[in-house]
Structure 1
Amino acid sequence: MAKCIELLFSASSRNDLRDKLKTVGYSKERIESQLIPILIIRNEVDVGHASSGITEDDEISVLRKFVDRSVLNVGSLLMAVSQKISVTDDFLAPLPESGPIDRAKLIASLKKYLSDSQLEPISDTQRIIAAT
Protein backbone atom coordinates (compact mmCIF):
# COMPACT_ATOMS: atom_id res chain seq x y z
CA MET A 1 0.00 0.00 0.00
CA ALA A 2 2.88 2.34 0.79
CA LYS A 3 4.50 1.61 -2.55
CA CYS A 4 1.20 2.33 -4.28
CA ILE A 5 1.05 5.77 -2.67
CA GLU A 6 4.71 6.48 -3.42
CA LEU A 7 4.52 5.42 -7.07
CA LEU A 8 1.21 7.13 -7.67
CA PHE A 9 2.53 10.52 -6.64
CA SER A 10 6.29 10.24 -7.35
CA ALA A 11 7.04 12.47 -4.37
CA SER A 12 10.63 13.37 -3.57
CA SER A 13 9.94 13.61 0.16
CA ARG A 14 7.12 13.15 2.66
CA ASN A 15 6.51 16.90 2.64
CA ASP A 16 6.20 16.79 -1.16
CA LEU A 17 3.81 13.84 -0.80
CA ARG A 18 1.74 15.77 1.73
CA ASP A 19 1.42 18.65 -0.74
CA LYS A 20 0.38 16.29 -3.53
CA LEU A 21 -2.18 14.53 -1.33
CA LYS A 22 -3.73 17.92 -0.57
CA THR A 23 -4.40 18.33 -4.30
CA VAL A 24 -6.62 15.25 -4.10
CA GLY A 25 -8.75 17.10 -1.57
CA TYR A 26 -7.63 15.62 1.74
CA SER A 27 -7.10 17.86 4.74
CA LYS A 28 -3.77 17.99 6.54
CA GLU A 29 -5.32 16.13 9.47
CA ARG A 30 -6.66 13.29 7.28
CA ILE A 31 -3.34 12.98 5.46
CA GLU A 32 -1.44 12.76 8.75
CA SER A 33 -3.85 10.33 10.42
CA GLN A 34 -4.83 8.06 7.53
CA LEU A 35 -2.19 8.06 4.78
CA ILE A 36 1.25 9.04 6.12
CA PRO A 37 1.08 6.33 8.82
CA ILE A 38 0.98 3.73 6.03
CA LEU A 39 4.46 4.84 5.00
CA ILE A 40 5.66 5.03 8.58
CA ILE A 41 4.45 1.56 9.48
CA ARG A 42 6.08 0.12 6.36
CA ASN A 43 9.38 1.63 7.46
CA GLU A 44 9.07 0.60 11.11
CA VAL A 45 7.45 -2.85 11.00
CA ASP A 46 8.73 -4.28 7.75
CA VAL A 47 10.12 -7.78 7.43
CA GLY A 48 13.65 -6.41 7.42
CA HIS A 49 13.30 -4.69 10.79
CA ALA A 50 13.85 -6.12 14.24
CA SER A 51 10.33 -5.19 15.33
CA SER A 52 8.80 -7.56 12.81
CA GLY A 53 8.82 -10.29 15.45
CA ILE A 54 5.94 -8.73 17.41
CA THR A 55 4.19 -11.33 19.52
CA GLU A 56 1.98 -9.35 21.89
CA ASP A 57 -1.68 -10.07 21.16
CA ASP A 58 -2.66 -6.42 21.58
CA GLU A 59 0.06 -5.29 19.16
CA ILE A 60 -0.97 -7.87 16.59
CA SER A 61 -4.61 -6.84 16.94
CA VAL A 62 -3.79 -3.17 16.43
CA LEU A 63 -1.62 -3.94 13.40
CA ARG A 64 -4.37 -6.06 11.83
CA LYS A 65 -6.92 -3.29 12.33
CA PHE A 66 -4.47 -0.81 10.89
CA VAL A 67 -3.94 -2.98 7.79
CA ASP A 68 -7.69 -3.36 7.30
CA ARG A 69 -8.13 0.41 7.59
CA SER A 70 -5.18 1.06 5.29
CA VAL A 71 -6.63 -1.15 2.55
CA LEU A 72 -9.83 0.90 2.69
CA ASN A 73 -7.91 4.19 2.80
CA VAL A 74 -5.73 3.35 -0.20
CA GLY A 75 -8.83 2.18 -2.08
CA SER A 76 -10.49 5.50 -1.32
CA LEU A 77 -7.36 7.35 -2.41
CA LEU A 78 -7.30 5.46 -5.70
CA MET A 79 -10.97 6.27 -6.31
CA ALA A 80 -10.38 9.94 -5.53
CA VAL A 81 -7.40 10.06 -7.89
CA SER A 82 -9.44 8.32 -10.57
CA GLN A 83 -12.12 10.99 -10.24
CA LYS A 84 -9.51 13.76 -10.47
CA ILE A 85 -8.00 12.18 -13.59
CA SER A 86 -11.42 11.98 -15.23
CA VAL A 87 -11.71 15.76 -14.87
CA THR A 88 -8.05 16.71 -15.38
CA ASP A 89 -6.03 14.43 -17.67
CA ASP A 90 -2.70 15.73 -16.41
CA PHE A 91 -3.57 15.47 -12.71
CA LEU A 92 -0.67 13.07 -12.09
CA ALA A 93 2.89 13.48 -13.30
CA PRO A 94 3.60 11.71 -16.59
CA LEU A 95 5.46 8.42 -16.64
CA PRO A 96 9.23 8.87 -16.66
CA GLU A 97 10.87 8.63 -20.05
CA SER A 98 11.91 5.07 -20.75
CA GLY A 99 12.36 5.30 -24.49
CA PRO A 100 9.86 4.78 -27.30
CA ILE A 101 10.31 0.99 -27.51
CA ASP A 102 9.73 0.39 -23.78
CA ARG A 103 6.73 2.73 -23.77
CA ALA A 104 5.23 1.02 -26.81
CA LYS A 105 5.60 -2.41 -25.16
CA LEU A 106 4.00 -1.10 -21.99
CA ILE A 107 1.03 0.36 -23.84
CA ALA A 108 0.59 -2.85 -25.86
CA SER A 109 0.59 -4.87 -22.64
CA LEU A 110 -1.93 -2.51 -21.05
CA LYS A 111 -4.24 -2.85 -24.06
CA LYS A 112 -4.07 -6.63 -23.69
CA TYR A 113 -4.82 -6.44 -19.96
CA LEU A 114 -7.75 -4.11 -20.60
CA SER A 115 -9.31 -6.68 -22.94
CA ASP A 116 -9.86 -9.00 -19.95
CA SER A 117 -12.68 -8.32 -17.52
CA GLN A 118 -11.85 -6.49 -14.31
CA LEU A 119 -11.73 -8.12 -10.91
CA GLU A 120 -14.96 -8.28 -9.01
CA PRO A 121 -15.14 -8.40 -5.22
CA ILE A 122 -15.07 -12.00 -4.10
CA SER A 123 -16.87 -11.28 -0.86
CA ASP A 124 -18.01 -8.40 1.29
CA THR A 125 -16.65 -10.21 4.31
CA GLN A 126 -13.03 -9.51 5.18
CA ARG A 127 -11.00 -12.48 6.25
CA ILE A 128 -7.77 -12.30 8.15
CA ILE A 129 -5.50 -15.30 8.06
CA ALA A 130 -2.83 -15.37 10.70
CA ALA A 131 0.26 -17.51 10.59
CA THR A 132 1.28 -18.94 13.94
Structure 2
Amino acid sequence: HEGGRIGILNCGHPPPLLLGGGKLRVLETATPSPLLSLAELIGDHYSVDTFEVAPGDLLLLYTDGIAEARARDGEFFPLTDWMSRQSPTPPRELLADLHRDLLRYSRGRLDDDIAALAVRLNGTGDTESP
Protein backbone atom coordinates (compact mmCIF):
# COMPACT_ATOMS: atom_id res chain seq x y z
CA HIS A 1 0.00 0.00 0.00
CA GLU A 2 1.14 3.55 -0.55
CA GLY A 3 -0.38 6.98 -0.74
CA GLY A 4 -3.50 6.09 1.25
CA ARG A 5 -4.51 3.22 -1.02
CA ILE A 6 -4.13 -0.53 -0.97
CA GLY A 7 -4.30 -2.97 -3.87
CA ILE A 8 -6.00 -6.31 -3.31
CA LEU A 9 -5.93 -9.35 -5.55
CA ASN A 10 -8.56 -11.84 -4.46
CA CYS A 11 -8.47 -15.33 -5.97
CA GLY A 12 -11.61 -16.82 -4.49
CA HIS A 13 -11.51 -16.11 -0.77
CA PRO A 14 -14.19 -14.11 1.03
CA PRO A 15 -13.76 -10.33 0.71
CA PRO A 16 -11.39 -8.73 3.22
CA LEU A 17 -12.82 -6.54 5.97
CA LEU A 18 -11.40 -3.09 6.70
CA LEU A 19 -12.13 -1.45 10.04
CA GLY A 20 -11.27 2.21 10.31
CA GLY A 21 -12.72 5.52 11.40
CA GLY A 22 -15.37 3.69 13.39
CA LYS A 23 -16.77 2.03 10.26
CA LEU A 24 -16.45 -1.42 8.75
CA ARG A 25 -16.08 -1.84 5.00
CA VAL A 26 -16.33 -5.08 3.07
CA LEU A 27 -13.74 -4.88 0.27
CA GLU A 28 -15.69 -6.55 -2.53
CA THR A 29 -13.87 -7.04 -5.83
CA ALA A 30 -15.24 -5.33 -8.92
CA THR A 31 -14.17 -8.18 -11.21
CA PRO A 32 -13.59 -11.60 -9.63
CA SER A 33 -10.22 -13.16 -10.43
CA PRO A 34 -9.78 -16.84 -11.25
CA LEU A 35 -8.48 -19.18 -8.57
CA LEU A 36 -4.77 -18.97 -7.84
CA SER A 37 -2.55 -20.30 -10.68
CA LEU A 38 -5.48 -20.79 -13.09
CA ALA A 39 -5.49 -17.51 -15.04
CA GLU A 40 -2.91 -18.54 -17.64
CA LEU A 41 -4.35 -22.03 -17.94
CA ILE A 42 -7.86 -20.80 -18.76
CA GLY A 43 -6.76 -17.73 -20.75
CA ASP A 44 -7.92 -15.21 -18.18
CA HIS A 45 -6.16 -12.54 -16.12
CA TYR A 46 -6.04 -11.34 -12.55
CA SER A 47 -7.64 -8.06 -11.44
CA VAL A 48 -6.28 -5.89 -8.66
CA ASP A 49 -8.82 -3.69 -6.91
CA THR A 50 -7.69 -0.49 -5.18
CA PHE A 51 -9.26 0.78 -1.96
CA GLU A 52 -8.75 3.93 0.09
CA VAL A 53 -7.17 3.34 3.51
CA ALA A 54 -5.99 5.51 6.39
CA PRO A 55 -3.32 5.11 9.07
CA GLY A 56 -4.61 2.94 11.89
CA ASP A 57 -7.06 0.98 9.71
CA LEU A 58 -7.25 -2.72 10.49
CA LEU A 59 -7.45 -5.19 7.60
CA LEU A 60 -8.76 -8.73 8.18
CA LEU A 61 -8.21 -11.42 5.55
CA TYR A 62 -9.79 -14.81 6.27
CA THR A 63 -10.88 -18.12 4.79
CA ASP A 64 -14.45 -19.29 4.39
CA GLY A 65 -14.07 -21.62 7.39
CA ILE A 66 -14.40 -18.55 9.61
CA ALA A 67 -17.43 -17.03 7.91
CA GLU A 68 -19.09 -20.44 7.70
CA ALA A 69 -18.51 -21.56 11.30
CA ARG A 70 -21.91 -22.57 12.64
CA ALA A 71 -23.72 -22.52 15.94
CA ARG A 72 -25.69 -25.59 17.00
CA ASP A 73 -28.84 -24.12 15.43
CA GLY A 74 -27.05 -23.88 12.05
CA GLU A 75 -26.60 -20.10 12.02
CA PHE A 76 -23.33 -18.85 10.50
CA PHE A 77 -20.87 -16.87 12.62
CA PRO A 78 -21.81 -13.17 12.21
CA LEU A 79 -18.30 -12.07 11.19
CA THR A 80 -19.15 -8.61 9.88
CA ASP A 81 -21.20 -7.80 12.99
CA TRP A 82 -18.42 -9.19 15.19
CA MET A 83 -15.75 -7.17 13.39
CA SER A 84 -17.75 -3.93 13.51
CA ARG A 85 -17.90 -4.19 17.33
CA GLN A 86 -14.12 -4.53 17.76
CA SER A 87 -12.06 -1.83 19.39
CA PRO A 88 -8.73 -0.78 17.93
CA THR A 89 -6.62 -3.61 19.34
CA PRO A 90 -3.30 -4.95 18.05
CA PRO A 91 -3.68 -7.58 15.29
CA ARG A 92 -2.47 -10.45 17.51
CA GLU A 93 -5.17 -9.65 20.11
CA LEU A 94 -7.85 -9.36 17.43
CA LEU A 95 -6.97 -12.82 16.10
CA ALA A 96 -6.90 -14.34 19.59
CA ASP A 97 -10.33 -12.82 20.31
CA LEU A 98 -11.67 -14.07 16.97
CA HIS A 99 -10.46 -17.61 17.64
CA ARG A 100 -11.92 -17.59 21.16
CA ASP A 101 -15.29 -16.30 19.93
CA LEU A 102 -15.40 -18.78 17.04
CA LEU A 103 -14.83 -21.66 19.47
CA ARG A 104 -17.47 -20.28 21.84
CA TYR A 105 -19.99 -19.73 19.01
CA SER A 106 -19.50 -23.21 17.54
CA ARG A 107 -19.16 -24.84 20.97
CA GLY A 108 -15.70 -26.06 20.05
CA ARG A 109 -16.78 -27.62 16.75
CA LEU A 110 -14.93 -25.88 13.94
CA ASP A 111 -15.68 -28.29 11.11
CA ASP A 112 -13.64 -26.54 8.41
CA ASP A 113 -10.10 -25.24 8.26
CA ILE A 114 -9.71 -21.65 9.35
CA ALA A 115 -7.02 -19.10 8.63
CA ALA A 116 -6.91 -15.37 9.23
CA LEU A 117 -4.43 -12.54 8.88
CA ALA A 118 -4.92 -9.19 10.60
CA VAL A 119 -2.85 -6.20 9.55
CA ARG A 120 -2.85 -2.71 11.03
CA LEU A 121 -1.86 -0.05 8.53
CA ASN A 122 0.26 2.77 9.82
CA GLY A 123 1.23 6.11 8.32
CA THR A 124 4.79 5.18 7.29
CA GLY A 125 3.97 2.70 4.55
CA ASP A 126 4.68 -0.17 6.93
CA THR A 127 2.23 -2.60 8.46
CA GLU A 128 1.91 -4.33 11.81
CA SER A 129 0.82 -7.96 11.80
CA PRO A 130 1.17 -10.82 14.28
> If the length of structure 2 is used for normalisation, what is the TM-score?
0.24
Give 1 or 2 for the bigger CA radius of gyration. 1
Which has more helix, going by share of residues?
1
Which has more strand, going by share of residues?
2
